[in-house]
Amino acid sequence: MNVIETKIEGVVIIEPKLFHDGRGYFFESYSRRDFDERVQTVAFCQDNESKSGYGVLRGLHFQRPPYAQSKLVRVIRGAVLDVAVDIRKGSPTYGQWVGCEMTEDNHRQFFIPRGFAHGFSVLSETAVFLYKCDNFYHPEAEGALAFDDPQLAIDWQIPADKIVLSEKDKHHPLLKELDSPFVYGKCYD
């Protein structure tokens, strides 16, 4: 696998090594050994899958400690723009975001460590999105940021009138209103 660093330390793009032949292709989508050696040691415990149509925007979500989550995400059908926003107080990249376009053809994966808000927009007619999490879902620990926060200025690559949100995702706070539960340099194991 090829690990690509982003402008935010700890958030990485992973490109698997594909093996092609007359039957199609094969690749290891996840190897704990390689991930631990090349990215960081993470004990994933839950896999999730979602299917969404064009314009669906999910996010920007996180779980508060002690239920914080790291996520390893990928697309198996379609195309999405995936985004991670640094919400760790005291971080040199606090409030900055990095995005990764993932498609069924590029097979990229995106790793988002604990201390980040996460969201994605669907750029294709439909998309099937998979993510591994290192902590179980706890609804009482849900946190979120407004997807359209002008301070973040995220280009979701979808016209504003085509964005489809859940009712809940229409009412999240701006970054300046967030009392982030994360502190840069603190471990949330």
pLDDT, residue 188, reads 76
Phi, psi of 55 (to 5 degrees): 90, -10
Q: What is the length of the chain?
A: 189
Residue tagged 């995400």 (tokens) = 73
Catalytic site residue from 25, 30, 54, 61: 61
- Strand, helix or coil for residue 148: coil
Listed by start position, the domains of the chain span 44-183
User: What sign for the dihedral angle of Cα 175, 179, 182, 186?
Assistant: positive
Residue type, 188: Y
pTM, two decimals, is 0.95
Assess whether 131 carries a catalytic annotation: yes
Cβ atoms of 130 and 48 closer than 8 Å: yes
Phi, psi of 90 (to 5 degrees): 85, -5
Fold of 44-183: Jelly Rolls (2.60.120)
Assess whether 54 carries a catalytic annotation: no
Cβ atoms of 141 and 63 closer than 8 Å: yes
109-112 sheet: strands from edge to edge? 2-5, 12-15, 109-112, 71-77, 126-133, 46-53
Cβ neighbours for 46, distance < 8 A, ≥ 6 positions apart = 132, 133, 135, 136, 137
pLDDT per residue as tens, the chain (189 positions) = 999 999 999 999 999 999 999 999 999 999 999 999 999 999 999 999 999 999 999 999 999 999 999 999 999 999 999 999 999 999 999 999 999 999 999 999 999 999 999 999 999 999 999 999 999 999 999 999 999 999 999 999 999 999 999 999 999 999 999 999 999 988 877
Residue type, 123: L
Cα 13 from chain centroid (whole Å):
10
Catalytic site residue from 118, 131, 172, 188: 131
